[in-house]
Amino acid sequence: MDRTLPTITQQAGRLKEVRKEELDFGDWVVVTTRNSTYSIRVLEGDRYSISGGWFDHEGLSPLKTTITGCTWGGSAIKLDIVAACGLHLEFGNRVVTSAIQKVCVMRFGGENINN
C-alpha cells in the first residue's frame, strides 16, 4: 500500500467511515479487524466503553477510554473517525488494531448501519 501524503489525502476523501460526530450516547459500534472483534459503546464526553480483542485478552473489558482515530498503519492519523474499513483503529490507551474489515453501527433508537 502506498503511504505517501498525496495518496493518503486522496484515499481519505473516499473512505466509508464512521465519524465521531455522527454517533450519539448509547450507540454501539462493532468493529471486526483482521485479528479481533471490538464492541464499542458510545458514552458522554468523547468517551467509549470498549470490549473485545486486546481488552478481553488483557482482562480489561470493558474499559472506558477515548478513541484517538484511525491510521493507515503509520503515524498519519484521521482524528475525526471511530472506524473505516482498511484502516487501523487507535484507542486512547495507544492500542492500535489490525486492519478493519467490517464496521456495524447499532443506533440506540434501533437503526443499524453496516460498512
SS in 3 state form for the chain? CCCCHHHHHHHHCCCCEEEHHHCCCCCEEEEEECCCEEEEEECCCCCEEEEEHHHHHCCCCCEEECEEEEECCCCCEECCEEEECCCEEEECCCCEEEEEEEEEEECCCCCEEEC
pLDDT per position as a tens digit, 1-53: 555 554 545 555 557 899 999 999 999 999 999 999 999 999 998 999 999 99
Q: CB neighbours (10 Å) of residue 83?
A: 29
* Partners of 11 in beta bridges: none
pLDDT per position as a tens digit, 63-106: 999 999 999 887 788 899 999 999 999 999 999 999 999 999 99
Q: What CA–CA distance (Å, rounded) separates 89 from 77?
A: 9
